[in-house]
Structure 1
């Protein structure tokens, strides 16, 4: 059997990876069957609900970096996904706080006879090149180092000073020769996926471990007896808390928008059942975006920040956004 064309799509928190993958799925050849292996820093698993619409095969690895402990969670998740059926393309989306070098190492060590590794796409928000917190982050640097293609996003929020800082930093890190394109609202031409992968970076000799416990404990499914369940996670200098709610718990949209718009956090993602239907929320860098969805099993919400927050207070505020039973 021929090997499966495979792309890694990486980039820091909130840069728009899931949005771009959704657009790629919307424009892929109609008869092709694609699979997605998605990794989230948080524990509740939200990206799967966003990407699964349309029948795409999705395997989620929540709870930190998929390459922890010598790539074991990634090996298990990818093996389970590939056993389902024959796919025409595989897309791997590591968490924005994961290590793409170790992801590459796992693919090349354990799946070389199954996958045909194509271009690694690194999404970049030009504003991050003016942020010392990003510039000093090893994962941010790794994501740039592995890139076969740099894809600039969030250009509607970008100023010339950010673009100039990006060009200066790419030159300082000797990355000016990498192809650079842009994706407005996640739109990217499919031909970029078939570009070859180049071995730009030296792969590590061994896997790393930064606090994840695998196999990770499964988040309990919300039930009528326990309609709200939650789980917290921390690592790589970031903290998260996520909640899953039984579908009988329905949100008031106006209350949700008012609450979320006032939050201070690096990232919020949610899929919520509301009195007006199902919506997805995406809060990054103070900008809130919404999307209507057709279906979901339950409501899920995750908050990520570079400092610990008062999670109990957030849980109480969230519950105040619920409609009366």
Structure 2
């Protein structure tokens, strides 16, 4: 078999990776079969429901960085995915808090001849270049270093000072020569996927860190006896709290939307069954967006924050958004 054209699509939390992949899927050739290996920091798993609607075969690796422990979660997940059928393209979406160099290392060590690594696309929000928290973050810098193409997102929300700061930092970090394009609302031309990959910095010799609880326990699905299942995660200076809710429990959309708008967190994603249908909710930089979906197995919501989250209080508030039984 010919190696599968493969792209890594990386970028920090909330920069729009899933939105961009959904757009790419909506414009893929009808005769092609695409696969997606997606990694989420939290352990609930929400992106899979969003991406499967695009007609791709999806394998989720929840619970932190998929390259931990010498890349074993990624090796297993990717091997399982590639055994399912023959694919015409593979997209790998690491968590916004994952180490892309470790992902490249795993691909190089274990999948040579199986994949044909094309351009690594790094999504960047210009507003982050005036954020000391982002500029000082090792993962943020690493995501930029591995980029074959820099994709600026949310430029419609950026001001001139953000764009000037981005230009200055890229020049200071010797990245100004990398191809740079924009993709507001995830709209990116597919020709960028076919550019070659170049190794810009040396790959690590070993895994960067270990998780004491690996392999991560699979989140049990909610059932009638336990209609709400909660899972917490912590790492890389961030905390997550997520819930899976049995499909018999239906949310009042207006109440849920208002509650989410009042939350303080770095990132929130949800796929929920409501009194107005199935919707996906996405909050980043304090802005909540909503998308209608056709189906989902259950409701799922997860938030990520740099400060510890009060899971018990948040769950009480979440439950209050459910319709009366």
CA contact (8 A) 2:22 2:54 kept: no
TM-score (norm 2): 0.99
The alignment partner of 1:157 has SS state of coil
CA contact (8 A) 1:39 1:93 kept: yes
Corresponding residue number in structure 1 for 2:35: 35
CA contact (8 A) 1:64 1:212 kept: no
CA distance in 2, matches of 1:311, 1:303: 10
CA contact (8 A) 1:4 1:87 kept: yes
Corresponding residue number in structure 2 for 1:82: 82
Corresponding residue number in structure 1 for 2:220: 220
In the TM superposition, what is the alpha-carbon distance from 1:101 to its structure 2 partner? 0.2
Matched, 1:234 2:234: yes
The alignment partner of 2:29 has SS state of coil
CA distance in 2, matches of 1:213, 1:41: 14
In the TM superposition, what is the alpha-carbon distance from 1:213 to its structure 2 partner? 2.7
The alignment partner of 2:156 has SS state of helix
CA contact (8 A) 2:69 2:211 kept: no
CA distance in 1, matches of 2:44, 2:132: 29
Corresponding residue number in structure 1 for 2:295: 295
The alignment partner of 2:255 has SS state of helix
CA distance in 2, matches of 1:160, 1:112: 43
1:96-115 aligned within 5 A: 96-115=96-115
In the TM superposition, what is the alpha-carbon distance from 1:128 to its structure 2 partner? 0.3
CA distance in 1, matches of 2:82, 2:17: 22
The alignment partner of 1:231 has SS state of strand
Corresponding residue number in structure 1 for 2:193: 193
1:206-285 aligned within 5 A: 206-211=206-211, 213-285=213-285
Matched, 1:160 2:160: yes
Corresponding residue number in structure 2 for 1:122: 122
Corresponding residue number in structure 2 for 1:306: 306
Deviates more, 1:202-211 or 1:124-133: 202-211
CA distance in 2, matches of 1:250, 1:156: 35
CA distance in 2, matches of 1:212, 1:147: 30
Structure 1 gaps of 5+ residues are none
Q: Give the direction of change, closer, same or farther, for the CA distance of 1:212–1:11 in structure 2 (3 Å limit).
A: farther
CA contact (8 A) 1:63 1:212 kept: no
Corresponding residue number in structure 2 for 1:171: 171
The alignment partner of 1:248 has SS state of coil
CA distance in 2, matches of 1:168, 1:53: 39
Corresponding residue number in structure 1 for 2:322: 322
Structure 2 gaps of 5+ residues are none
CA distance in 2, matches of 1:56, 1:271: 18
CA contact (8 A) 1:211 1:235 kept: no
TM-score (norm 1): 0.99
Q: Give the direction of change, closer, same or farther, for the CA distance of 1:14–1:210 in structure 2 (3 Å limit).
A: farther
CA contact (8 A) 1:7 1:120 kept: yes
Task: Deviation per CA, 1:18-44: give whole Å up to 9, x if none.
Answer: 000000000011110000000000000
The alignment partner of 1:155 has SS state of coil
CA distance in 2, matches of 1:264, 1:290: 18
CA contact (8 A) 1:150 1:179 kept: yes
CA distance in 2, matches of 1:260, 1:56: 29
In the TM superposition, what is the alpha-carbon distance from 1:210 to its structure 2 partner? 4.6
CA contact (8 A) 2:15 2:124 kept: yes
The alignment partner of 2:13 has SS state of coil
In the TM superposition, what is the alpha-carbon distance from 1:310 to its structure 2 partner? 1.2
CA RMSD of aligned residues (A): 0.7
CA contact (8 A) 2:64 2:98 kept: yes
Deviates more, 1:172-181 or 1:47-56: 47-56
